[in-house]
Copies of this chain bind each other. A is one copy, B any other.
Amino acid sequence: MSARREDTRRRLFHAAVSLIAEQGFGATSVDQIAERAGVAKGTVYYNFGGKTELFTALLAWGISRLAEEMRAAAEAAPSGTALTEVLRAELAFIGEHEAFARLLVSEAWQTNQAWYATVQQIRNEAISVIGAVLDTAARRGSVPATLDTGVASSALFGMVLTVALDWRTLQPERPMEEIHAILVQLAQGMVSR
């Protein structure tokens, strides 16, 4: 793939993320995406085949990155701090990619969508990173063995997502560390014995 094409795809990606996050998928037109990317309309089709495909690629790319950053944080964390670091990674990702996060929330729970399977599959990747951390902790005895780690990891994921978006919406001036500290406090109570 040529460097030019690579660049075009990147610009389309960026334009689409920001627009869809602002307005939603349905309200965003291919015209708008092309205009914000600075290319002609046909270029969208040449590069992605269609609006839906562009969107699916977008979601997959974004959730993969989220999962990767969470996984990297878990692996790099000093012993005993994995959960803290994973939550920080999720919070930081949302803070940095607020537009994408809104997009994810808007579309992730919509059944009857072309990309539902994609979203569900990759969302589980992210959640399973948390699940793995909890399972490890359970084996070490630092969380109750009776905890349903599947539900708990989904709960943690959703809690962070909700709090993070409320943070960006209602109190964007608060530093991330402050929010992170509260989340860690809540999470520790939730899962610690």
Interface residues of A (CB under 8 A from B): 22-27, 102, 105-113, 120, 147-148, 151-152, 154-159, 161-163, 165-167, 169, 179, 182-183, 185-192
By a CB distance below 8 angstroms, the chain B residues around A190 are 186-187, 189-190
Q: Write the nearest CB–CB distance from A15 to chain B, whole angstroms.
A: 16
Among A23, A106, A188, chain B packs the most CB atoms within 10 A around the CB of: A106
Contact yes or no, B163 A161, CB < 8 A? no
Cα A95 to Cα B113 in complex, Å, equals 21
By a CB distance below 8 angstroms, the chain B residues around A147 are 185
Majority secondary structure of chain A interface residues (helix, strand, loop or mixed): helix
By a CB distance below 8 angstroms, the chain B residues around A23 are 110, 112-113
Contact yes or no, A112 B22, CB < 8 A? yes
Among A112, A120, A182, A186, chain B packs the most CB atoms within 10 A around the CB of: A186
Among A107, A163, A165, A188, chain B packs the most CB atoms within 10 A around the CB of: A163
